[in-house]
A and B are shown apart, each in its own frame.
Chain A
Amino acid sequence: KAGVTQTPRYLIKTRGQQVTLSCSPISGHRSVSWYQQTPGQGLQFLFEYFSETQRNKGNFPGRFSGRQFSNSRSEMNVSTLELGDSALYLCASSTTGEGTEAFFGQGTRLTVV
């Protein structure tokens, strides 16, 4: 079955702009999580959505937001971009319950100039 799909794969934006990234989870997975990966900070959890509700949030400023649609697809938005937002943004989808694991997409590489 198809894996986690993230679009676009690459983005270049200017400081102050906003950006929207998209994630389509594996069919049947209702949980979608987002992570930021940078060389300095590693992989950091942004937030998790389940059944269109955010049920967990990492330690990121309010400029980072997300949402989930009824088909479990998710988007994350970053407003007022800063140079430090340049990173690989990863989406992971999971089922729920004991014994679940996260399946990751290939990520969106965001460069802020």
Chain B
Amino acid sequence: AQSVSQHNHHVILSEAASLELGCNYSYGGTVNLFWYVQYPGQHLQLLLKYFSGDPLVKGIKGFEAEFIKSKFSFNLRKPSVQWSDTAEYFCAVRLSGGYNKLIFGAGTRLAVHP
């Protein structure tokens, strides 16, 4: 069955540190890739998405992600985190022909200390 793996379940960083969250998926066909963020008490919000073209995509709030097809990966990065980035981050995959069904990873809880 298709699945999405997020390698880090909990990450703790100090402000200004760099962030990289790993995401791998298992599916050999065409995919759309997403990173969503869930701030405490808020709804899921889209950070960025990849459909085609340049594998390096930029999202909101300084986040970016790189799609590496050969590694089935879509890692999220931010050069310098802020306390306000404290949230849970979800990687999600939509398979070709899967309509709008999203397969989510387990999520990564990020805590940023001032």
* Chain A residues engaging chain B, CB cutoff 8 angstroms: 3-4, 31, 33, 35, 42-45, 48, 50, 55-56, 58, 90, 92, 94, 96, 98-107
Residue from A99, A104, A107 with most neighbouring chain B CB atoms (10 Å): A104
Closest partner residue, chain A, to B42 (CB atom): A106
Distance, CA A43 to CA B105, complexed state (A): 8
Whether A100 touches B106, Cβ cut-off 8 Å, given contacts A90-B44, A105-B43, A107-B43, is: no
Report A-chain residues with C-beta under 8 Å of the C-beta of B101.
Answer: 33, 45, 48, 56, 58
Q: How far is the CA of A103 from the CA of B34 in the complex (A)?
A: 12
Q: Closest A residue to B107 by CB, please name it.
A: A42
A-B pairs with beta carbons under 8 Å apart, 25 shown: A31-B99, A33-B100, A33-B101, A42-B104, A42-B107, A43-B90, A43-B92, A43-B104, A43-B107, A48-B100, A50-B99, A55-B99, A56-B98, A58-B101, A90-B44, A92-B102, A94-B100, A96-B100, A99-B51, A101-B46, A101-B49, A102-B102, A103-B46, A105-B43, A106-B42
Question: Please, how many angstroms separate the alpha-carbon atoms of A35 and B103 in the complex?
Answer: 10
Cα–Cα, bound, A50→B105 (Å):
25
- Tell me, rounded to whole Å, the shortest Cβ–Cβ distance linking B89 to chain A: 12
**For residue A98, which residue of chain B has the nearest CB?**
B51
Residues on B close to A: CB < 8 A? 34, 36, 42-46, 49, 51, 90, 92, 98-107
Q: Main SS of chain A's interface residues?
A: strand
Query: Nearest Cβ distance between residue A89 and chain B, in whole angstroms?
Result: 12
Main secondary structure, interface of B, reads loop
Q: Which single residue of chain B is at the shortest CB-CB distance from A33?
A: B100
* A45 to B44 alpha-carbon distance, docked (Å): 14
Q: Do residues B100 and A106 form an inter-chain contact, with CB atoms below 8 A?
A: no
Which of B34, B43, B90, B106 meets A101, CB within 8 Å?
B34
Task: Give the residue among B43, B100, B104 with the most A Cβ atoms within 10 A.
Answer: B100
- Greatest chain B CB density within 10 A among A50, A98, A102, A105 is at A102
Q: In the complex, A103→B43 CA distance in Å? A: 9
The 7 closest A-B pairs by CB, nearest first: A43-B104, A104-B44, A106-B43, A42-B106, A94-B100, A56-B101, A104-B43
